[in-house]
Every structure is written in C-alpha cells, then in structure tokens.
C-alpha cells in the first residue's frame, strides 16, 4: 500500500511518515527541505506554493493509495496587518494545493475503487482563532471541501476525512505559542486535558481512518484536541 505525506520533513508529517514505515507501508514523503527528507527512502523535494505540478506528477507515477495532506502554513496577525501576499500564500498552501493534489490522486483511486484521503486541518478551522483569521478561514475551507469530496467519491470506495489537531507538541506548535503572546503554561491551562496533543496520536488517528474498520467513516471532521473544542 502506497501512502504519500506532504510536509513530511518535520513535526506532524514526519511522525506520520515514520509511523507508517514501521507499519510496513510504502511511504512517499514530500517537503521543501531535501536534507530533512533524506530519512525517507522515497521522497519528492517540492515547494508546493511554486510548483505543485511536480508533486502531482509524482503522485500519478507512484500510484498513491493513501494521500495525507499535511503541509500547511500558519500566520498570526491582526486582520488590518494582513497583506495580499500572505492571503495568497496561506490559501494556496492550506486549501488550493490539497484540492489540486487530490485531483491528481483520485483517477488511480477510482480505477482501483479504493482510496483514502486524510486532510490535516486545525481546531482553528472549527472554532475560529482571534489573530489567525486567515489560517482559520483556510482550514474551514478544507473541512467544507472534505464533506463535498466525500459525497462525490463515496461510490468509488474512496473516503475523505479531516483531522483537526489542537495544540500539538511540535516545533511549529511551540513557535505558534511564541507568536500568540501567551506562555505555554497559560495555554495549557485553557486545555481541558491540560496537555498538548502528540504527533503520534495524530498518526494513530490516520491509521484508524485508513483501516477497513473505518470504511464507513467519510466526510467527517474529527477534532483531536484534548477537549479544546468542547469548551472550558
């Protein structure tokens, strides 16, 4: 079984890729940094903002059964300070590129009449996040696309789901803490379970969603956030 993970050079993507290597899958990884990708046997160095077609071709050539759209960018900024370049970058990376990659993966999945598409969203796309309206909008769009694609592809045995992490114990997560203006301790205090999610928990959810036990789960937006989406 061939699985491709975007944004696999570090953080959530790297953990998912390494997790599925241990599970015996043929893992294909993609990111911009070749040095960080060399831990994987199969990889495609690609800047998705500049040349998503390169990865689209790679997907077709390697007959990807499972696509994990993990690559994303986060910008923390008040709305009046957002510029057009930031809008283009965030919407393209977080929403347009995942849709494009799905379009390249689906023909093979349809032919096989089996496929799994997992989009890594964010709790910010479910609840909204003050100071991150652009990021929230892009992830909310991904959730909407997931629902529509699940309907469109259901008859072909293809499922489409989104996992929405809350605060995750990664470099990006810790960088986001610094940008937020709050301390990590203050943020943890607002999380019902009083902890950050680990990347391996996300990989475990991916494992479930691609399994036969989850073949009836499609079009869903699953919040993996230590209770953050429920309230405080």
Parallel/antiparallel/unpaired status of strands 221-224 and 26-31: unpaired
Tokens of 49: 């903002």
Q: Which of 58, 135, 156, 208 is catalytic?
A: 135
Phi, psi of 114, rounded to the nearest 5 degrees:
-165, 135
| CA–CA separation, 216 and 154 (whole Å) | 9
Is the backbone of residue 129 left (phi > 0), alpha (psi -120 to 50) or beta? beta
- Helices 11-22 and 171-180: angle between axes, nearest 10 degrees: 160
Angle separating helix axes 97-112 and 133-153, nearest 10 degrees: 20
Could you tell me whether strands 42-45 and 26-31 are parallel, antiparallel, or unpaired per DSSP bridges? parallel
Provide CB contacts within 8 A for 95, sequence distance 6+: 138, 141, 142, 145
Known catalytic residue at 232: no
Distance CA 101, CA 186 (A): 38
- Give the active site residues: 135
């Amino acid at each position: 079984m061939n699985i491709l993970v975007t944004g696999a050079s570090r953080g959530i993507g790297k953990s998912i890729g390494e997790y599925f290597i241990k599970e015996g899958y043929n893992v294909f990884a993609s990111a911009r940094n070749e040095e960080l990708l060399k831990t994987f046997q199969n990889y495609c160095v690609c800047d998705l903002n500049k040349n998503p077609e390169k990865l689209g071709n790679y997907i077709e050539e390697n007959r990807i059964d499972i696509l994990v759209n993990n690559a994303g960018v986060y910008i923390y900024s008040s709305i009046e300070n957002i510029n057009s370049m930031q809008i283009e970058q965030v919407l393209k990376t977080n929403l347009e590129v995942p849709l494009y990659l799905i379009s390249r993966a689906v023909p093979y999945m349809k032919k096989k009449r089996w496929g799994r598409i997992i989009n890594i969203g964010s709790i910010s796309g479910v609840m909204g996040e003050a100071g991150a309206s652009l990021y929230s909008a892009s992830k909310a769009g991904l959730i909407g696309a997931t629902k529509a694609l699940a309907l469109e592809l259901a008859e072909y045995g293809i499922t489409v789901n989104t996992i929405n992490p809350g605060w995750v114990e990664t470099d990006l997560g810790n960088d986001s803490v610094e940008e937020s203006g709050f301390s990590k301790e203050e943020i943890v205090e607002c999380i019902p379970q009083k902890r950050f999610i680990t990347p391996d928990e996300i990989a475990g959810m991916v494992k479930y969603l691609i399994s036969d036990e989850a073949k009836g789960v499609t079009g869903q937006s699953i919040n993996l956030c230590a209770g953050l989406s429920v309230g405080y």
